[in-house]
Each structure stands twice: as C-alpha cells, then as structure tokens.
C-alpha cells in the first residue's frame, strides 16, 4: 500500500471480522427469514404481505478507521469492493448525541460493498430496480465509517461502538414507496410486529428516507438463549462475540417526509404507566439540573476534545461525595445532559448550554426554576382553585416585589433574561433594517435586547426605560457591548408613562407578566408616546390554536402560578392592541417558540375618536 495511508494504523481486526460476518449473513439470508426473526408474531399472510412490498437490501455495521480510504484499501485487499463514500447524516447525528460531541467533530461516511446473491430475489418494480444502491440480484453491506485519525481523541468512542454495535441493523428496501405503502408498512411493523420506532431521517446525499425500528427481543442472527451478559467485545480481541442485531430499517428512495414525521412522532409514544412515572418524577429532573449548576458541575465536566473524567476527579473538582456525584451523573446521562463513557463522563450536548461561559447560558434558568419558582409550584392547586398566583400565597408578595428585596434573587432573575436572547437576533435585524433613528426599549431589563439592536444598527440611538435599581446593570451591559454612548437610561414605571418621540418601541416579554387590564394600560402609555409614524414591536410566546406542541403552553401555567399574568393567542393580543388604538400588522415566528408582533397606530375613524376604552372588548384569549 502506498500513499499517506501506508503509515496509518491498520483497521481493527474485530471490525474486519464483523464485516466478513455481515457479508456472509447478507449473502445467505432470505427476506422471509429476516421478517420472521424480527417479528415472530406475524402470521404467514402478514409476512407474505411485507415481502410483497419490500425485500432485504442490506445489512449495516459501523467500523472505525484512520480514514475512509484506509478502509476501502483494506477491503479491496480482502476481495471486497467498497463503492464511493457518501456522507452520513443520521448516524453522524446519533453518535454526536450519544457521546456529547459536536456534529462537526465527527466525520462519518457510508460505503457499500456489493454482495452477489446466489439465490433468486423477489421480483422488483421498475422503480426499485432503478435504485443505484440495489441492482437486481444484488444486495450490499452498508458500512458506516467513523474516521479516527491519530490524535482525534475518538479511540474511546470506537471501542464503545465496537462493543455495543449500536448501529448494526438489517434493512428492507421498499420496492415502490408512496405515502400509502409507507403508512401501511409502518403500521404493520409497529402494531402487528411489535417493533418500536427508533429514529430515522432523510439523507439528501443519496435522496433516501430511513425509518429505524427496534425489536424488544429476538433479532436476525441471534443464538437461542443468547444473553446480554455475553454480548461484549474486548478492545484487543480479533473477533466480536456474536450478539443479536436488534434494529431494522425501512429504506425508501426519495423524500417521504409525511411517513418520517409520523414515525418520529410515534417514537415518543410509550406504555402509559411508564410514561406517567416519568412525568411524575419530572420534579427530580428540575432539581438535578439545579443541583448540577449550584455544584458547578457543567464547568467541571470535560467538553469538546477533552478526555472524559471519572467520578473521583469530578468529586475533587466540585467538592462533592464521590458516590453521590456518581448517582447524579448517571441520572444526568439518562436525560442526555451528560455523556457517559463507561465510568467516565463528559458534558453532553444539552449540558453544554449550562456552562457559565456558554453564549446565553441556561444556568441561571436552572437555578431559578429549581429555587423559588420550584417552591411556589407546590401551591399550584391553590392557583388553579382560586386564580391567584401561588408565589404570592407562599412568599407574601408578588415575585417582582419579593426579588427586589433580595438583590441576589433579583440579579439571578435578570441573568435569566439573557438565556432567551437567541430569539432577539431576528428582532435586532428587523429594527436595523427599518430606517428608524431612535428605539425605545420599554422595560428593557439589563439591556440585552437593546444592546443587540444598537449593535446591529450603528446609526441607531436607544432609550431604555426600567426601574431605578436595574439601571446600573443595564449601564454595565450596554458598556460591555460598546453602545452605552448611544443610549439614554430612564428610570420609571411603564404603567404610568413611556418616553416619547421614538421611531420604534420594544416590549419584549413584558405583557405576559400582566393581566389584561394592566396590559391595556401599558399599551395605552406606549400609544400616547408614539408619533403617528412609529411602530410597536412585541416579543411574546403565543398559545397555539391548533393543539400543536409549544413552550407557550407550559409558560402559561408558570404565569398563573408565579406571576399573575398569562400567555395569549395572536388574536388575543390583537384585541388588546385595538383597545389601545393600535393595529396588529404582522406576526413573525422567532426562535424558542417566540413571535414578533408588529403594530402601528390605527387610523382615526371619520367623525370619531381613536382607540380608547370603547375599543376594548376584553374577554378570553
């Protein structure tokens, strides 16, 4: 072998043995045998129906190699012709999530080794025979190649995957896929075959949709009586211990997003009792996250390319009990906040946003939701019975007044506002492109949004209205981002007055804190201050009217319990705006399930007055 791969480490013998084993399996297996092995409960007629619409196409394995060319060269020397490499989308994402790595830190390709079939395969339709991955009379071994060049820090990942074989599966090609056929096959596999949805995706590089299923027990190639305790691979062994392949793929050429969406939605459906247990223990998750932040665990855990740390190291870094910390880490790993590599741990993809130095860190939210807001949710039944906020019942006053008396809580609450700053980018761009000269941020907290707006629009000037004790933090924030010289800070109460003369007025996550009467007062003060050509921009979450999932639904309950306000529909905000003499002109989605609502002063009706109380008809959302 010549070229750069000549000096590269050889492909691990266990990976080569796995490829050989899989080639032989694909060469000799029959579609009916695979269906019977994965779904023993199907009747003969149901199996015949499945094999009428799909046929065994390939088996897939994941191996590691210094480069994809190293593997292809090694396979050629063994008489196996690996085709052109195609980037993996699904497996790359799964590995990143499993080990807490960024997607960009992993390189995973797919190569296919054709396997001639010595026995006739079921007849295929013209659509199926046009697939480049499956010529008639031929199957393949699909190899996911995790590139592990020296120094990449991926050796532990390779060892774990070699032992667990998470990505090994058998694949059935859908011979003539359409929406009806895909829906029927999915229903048969789940309802009759007792298969469990296990992810999937669309790979644009090969224009194909993959739906994965998991068998709870039994799989093709499993030995009778095989046990989990016997299923392991020593890193130094040359032949993997036989273990069942428990995953099945439905592979269909083309983009079948309707089937994929239904499949991914079904993945969340579980046994009702198990699911209810998970919901009942949701408070444990809240406290686990809060405890992790309070203990400094996200900052202590390795991240990126750093080697994973064991519990002894982490206990020393955080000043905690090794056994107690180990229990917390295992739980955090079960919810994908931490990634476990045996008895060693690193920060997972979700956990990365809990680091104190993460952009828009979520750590303050975890602390706050695990602190006073957690305590007040214990009084939720009182809020539901009476409509009164539980926080006030528990602490004797509303949370704004309570926090104002406790500087540490007030500072924590202000830091939580930055955690949602991902929704501000499009707002800043919209203001910068509007041609406005002066922007008034009403209730702008510590200036996070206004700072982004003034940064995006260097010619803009800003006015920030806030309570007097918050202005010092706002001044510091605006100074940090270099825009304080273009901003005027005003102490005041937005229910009483708003600075006049702005071109754009911002109300970001303000109105959901208040009841309808208070919202109407705030909007009227804004309308009074706005010149005729000015525009009002609201940033709020909107309650969905079609039942779709939304963060607004949970935050609506939070508002009831802790603030006394509420989330609202777009129509509800439209009526509030109309009551203040303003017209809602557009609603634009933002990140984190937020929306940007734009409004202007309503034209005065002929012979009548504009806005006012007569325009407000109150009521529900």
The DSSP call for residue 240 is P
Q: Which of 269, 152, 249 is nearest to 209 (CA)?
A: 249
* Cβ–Cβ under 8 Å, residues 571 and 605: no
Q: Which of 21, 161, 143 is nearest to 88 (CA)?
A: 143
Q: How far is CA 61 from the centre of its chain?
A: 26
Q: Which of 527, 444, 538 is nearest to 492 (CA)?
A: 444
Q: How far is CA 511 from the centre of its chain?
A: 27
Characterize the bridge pairing of strands 247-253 and 169-174.
Answer: parallel
Q: b vs e for 584-596, b when ≥16 Cβ sit within 10 Å of the residue's Cβ?
A: beeeeebeebbbb
* Cβ–Cβ under 8 Å, residues 338 and 301: yes
Q: At what angle do helices 322-334 and 282-294 cross, to 10 degrees?
A: 130
Contacts of 299-303 with C-beta under 8 Å, sequence gap 24+, read 299/355, 299/356, 299/357, 301/338, 301/345, 301/346, 301/347, 301/351, 302/345, 302/346, 302/347, 303/100, 303/346, 303/347, 303/352, 303/355
What gap in Å lies between CA 101 and CA 354, rounded to an integer? Answer: 15
* Cβ–Cβ under 8 Å, residues 450 and 422: no
What gap in Å lies between CA 568 and CA 511, rounded to an integer? Answer: 9
Cβ count within 10 A of residue 307: 11
Q: Please give the helix or strand (H or E) that residue 402 lies within, else none.
A: helix 399-404
Q: Exposed, middle or buried by CB within 10 Å (0-12, 13-18, 19+), for 12?
A: buried
Report the chain's C-alpha Rg in angstroms.
Answer: 30
Q: Which residues pair with residue 340 across a beta bridge? A: 345
Active-site amino acid positions: 512
Q: If you search the block for the tokens 């937005």, which residue do you land on?
A: 494
């Amino acid at each position: 072998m010549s070229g750069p791969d000549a000096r590269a480490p050889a492909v691990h013998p266990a990976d080569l043995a796995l490829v050989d084993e899989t080639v032989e399996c694909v060469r000799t297996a029959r579609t009916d045998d695979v269906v019977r092995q994965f779904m023993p409960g199907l009747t003969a007629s149901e199996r015949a129906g499945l094999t009428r619409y799909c046929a065994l196409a390939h088996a897939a394995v994941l191996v590691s190699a210094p480069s994809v060319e190293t593997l292809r060269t090694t396979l050629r020397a063994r008489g196996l012709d690996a085709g052109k490499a195609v980037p993996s989308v699904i497996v790359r994402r799964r590995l990143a999530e499993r080990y807490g790595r960024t997607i960009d830190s992993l390189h995973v390709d797919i190569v296919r080794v054709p396997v001639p079939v010595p026995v006739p395969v079921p007849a295929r339709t013209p659509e199926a025979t046009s697939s480049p991955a499956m010529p008639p009379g031929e199957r393949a071994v699909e190899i996911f190649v995790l590139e592990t060049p020296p120094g990449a820090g991926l050796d532990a990942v390779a060892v774990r995957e070699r032992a667990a074989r998470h990505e090994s599966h058998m694949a059935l090609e859908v011979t003539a896929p359409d929406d009806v056929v895909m829906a029927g096959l999915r229903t048969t596999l789940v309802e009759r075959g007792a298969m469990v949805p296990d992810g999937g995706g669309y790979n644009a590089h090969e224009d194909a949709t993959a739906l994965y299923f998991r068998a709870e027990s039994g799989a093709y190639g499993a030995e009778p009586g095989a046990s989990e305790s016997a299923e392991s691979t020593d890193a130094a062994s040359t032949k993997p211990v036989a273990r069942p392949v428990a995953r099945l793929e439905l592979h269909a050429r083309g983009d079948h997003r309707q089937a994929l969406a239904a499949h991914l939605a079904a993945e969340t459906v579980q046994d009702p009792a198990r699911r209810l247990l998970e919901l009942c223990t949701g408070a444990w998750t809240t406290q686990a996250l809060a405890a992790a932040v309070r203990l400094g665990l996200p900052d202590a855990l390795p991240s990126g390319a750093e080697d994973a740390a064991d519990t002894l190291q982490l206990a020393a870094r955080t000043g905690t009990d090794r056994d107690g910390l180990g229990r917390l880490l295992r739980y955090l790993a079960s919810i994908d906040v931490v990634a476990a590599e045996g008895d060693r741990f690193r920060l997972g993809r979700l956990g990365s946003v809990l680091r104190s130095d993460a952009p828009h860190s979520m750590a303050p939210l975890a602390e706050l939701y695990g602190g006073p807001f957690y305590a007040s949710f214990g009084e939720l039944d009182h809020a539901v019975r009476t409509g009164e906020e539980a926080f006030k019942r528990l602490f004797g006053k509303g949370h704004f007044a309570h926090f104002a008396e406790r500087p540490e809580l007030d500072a924590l609450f202000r830091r939580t506002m930055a955690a949602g700053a991902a929704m501000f980018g499009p707002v800043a761009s919209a203001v910068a492109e509007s041609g406005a000269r002066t922007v008034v941020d009403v209730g702008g907290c510590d200036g996070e949004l206004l700072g982004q707006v003034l940064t995006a629009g260097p010619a803009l000037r800003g006015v920030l209205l806030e309570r007097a004790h918050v202005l010092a933090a706002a001044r510091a924030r605006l100074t940090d981002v270099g825009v304080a010289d273009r901003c005027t800070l005003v102490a005041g109460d937005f229910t009483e007055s708003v600075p006049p003369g702005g071109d754009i007025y911002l109300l970001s996550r303000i109105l959901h804190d208040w009841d309808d009467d208070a919202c109407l007062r705030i909007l009227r003060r804004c309308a009074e201050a706005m010149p005729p050509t000015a525009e009002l921009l609201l940033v709020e979450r909107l309650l969905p009217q079609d039942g779709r999932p939304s963060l607004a639904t949970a935050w609506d309950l939070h508002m009831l319990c802790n603030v006394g306000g509420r989330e609202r529909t777009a129509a509800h905000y439209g009526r509030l705006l109309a009551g203040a003499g303003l017209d809602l002109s557009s609603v634009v989605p933002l990140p984190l399930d937020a929306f940007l609502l734009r409004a202007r002063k309503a034209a005065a009706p002929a012979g009548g007055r504009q806005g006012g109380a007569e325009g407000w008809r109150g009521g529900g959302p």
